[in-house]
Structure formats: structure tokens, C-alpha cells
């Protein structure tokens, strides 16, 4: 999964809550439950945990935290290691070395990272919600997260090309 960069500022917004969709049944029998509906984050295997990341890269954007309230605002400025066209980290294996404030998510962290996007699969599962239709695990297509407009692909600029990220606060990530 991806991580994030968080900077200090004096304003921010609250993440929005989202509802879980209902499940379908086939031939009168309940469909087999996928792992994210039957397991807690703690119970997931390493492969299951990794597959939960939808590849949106919303968490790879620069964020500012209100120093008084702790609330967070997102920008359309991405970490310099993010390939803004493919929406993937250019050097995932060495990300912690290249970007010291890059965070490797763990089960313990999830509930404490209040700035995680409301659409983040880890956050949704931790809050007892379901994944959205566009999540690659649900759709079976890694591109639906882009087609649905959830990912930051082609919507962000690299921090290398921006002078003042604080002037680039956006509302489409909550």
C-alpha cells in the first residue's frame, strides 16, 4: 500500500463517511464472501493486505494539517516519486530511503491516521464498510479506480514543479 506526506498548516476539512453496498445472492444461495468481508485487517494474509490497496495514490499527495484542530486538507501536488501518469510510485522498493516521511501502513496505524482518504480501502474496512464497485478487487479491473475518477492519475503535479503547495488546496479528496 502507499503512504503519505503530511505538512503543517492552519486549516483543514473533515473526511466524509460512506455507506456500504448490499451483497448479491445467486441461485437462491448466498454468494461466497470475499476475504475483505469476512476478515479483519489483522486477519488478512500479506497478499490479501497488499491487494487491498486500490492504487488511487490519494495518499501520495502533499497534505497540510491544521496545527490547532488537527484537521487535514489535501492538495493536487504529488510526492516527487509518484509517476503522475501511471499513478504508481517510481521506486516503491526504495521509497522509505528516497522519501523519509513516506509511511508504510500497518494495521495498528489505520485507526490513528485520521487523514486517510475516505475512499481508502484500509480505512473503509477498518470502519466496517464495504469496498466500492470501482475497487479492482470488486470490479476485477485495475483500471476502474482511474475510470471512476477516484485515482489522482493525470490530476496532480509533482512537488518538483510547484513553488507553494499550500496554494493548491483541493476539495475532491476528502
- What does the angle CA 116 – CA 117 – CA 118 come to, to the nearest 5 degrees? 115
Q: Which is nearer to ligand SF4, 58 or 168 (CB)?
A: 58
Q: Is the dihedral of CA 167, 102, 54, 142 positive or negative?
A: positive
Q: Which is nearer to ligand SF4, 60 or 72 (CB)?
A: 60
Q: Nearest distance from residue 68's CB to ligand SF4, in Å?
A: 25
What whole-number distance in Å separates Cα of residue 33 and Cα of residue 54?
19
Q: Which is nearer to ligand SF4, 10 or 90 (CB)?
A: 90
Pairing state between β 88-89 and 72-78 = unpaired
Q: Provide the 10 A C-beta neighbour count for residue 172.
A: 11
Q: Nearest distance from residue 59's CB to ligand SF4, in Å?
A: 3
Q: Nearest distance from residue 146's CB to ligand SF4, in Å?
A: 12
Task: Give the residues lining the site for ligand SF4 (CB under 6 A).
Answer: 1-5, 53-60, 79, 81-82, 89, 95, 99, 102, 105, 117, 120-122
C-alpha cell at 35: 476475504
Amino acid at each position: 500500500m502507499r503512504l503519505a506526506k503530511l505538512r503543517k498548516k492552519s486549516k483543514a476539512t473533515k473526511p466524509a463517511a460512506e455507506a456500504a453496498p448490499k451483497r448479491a445472492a445467486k441461485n437462491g444461495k448466498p454468494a461466497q464472501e470475499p476475504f475483505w468481508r469476512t476478515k479483519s485487517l489483522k486477519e488478512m494474509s500479506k497478499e490479501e493486505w497488499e491487494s487491498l490497496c486500490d492504487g488511487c495514490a490519494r495518499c501520495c499527495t502533499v497534505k497540510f494539517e491544521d496545527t490547532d484542530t488537527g484537521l487535514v486538507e489535501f492538495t493536487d501536488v504529488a510526492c516527487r516519486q509518484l509517476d503522475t501518469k501511471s499513478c504508481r510510485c517510481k521506486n516503491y522498493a526504495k521509497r522509505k530511503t528516497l522519501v523519509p516521511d513516506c509511511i508504510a501502513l500497518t494495521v495498528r496505524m489505520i485507526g490513528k491516521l485520521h487523514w486517510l482518504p475516505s475512499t481508502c480501502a484500509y480505512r473503509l474496512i477498518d470502519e466496517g464498510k464495504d469496498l466500492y464497485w470501482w475497487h479492482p478487487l470488486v470490479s476485477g479491473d485495475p483500471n476502474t479506480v482511474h475510470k471512476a475518477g477516484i485515482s489522482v492519475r493525470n490530476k496532480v503535479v509533482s512537488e518538483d514543479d510547484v513553488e507553494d503547495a499550500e496554494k493548491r488546496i483541493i476539495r475532491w479528496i476528502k
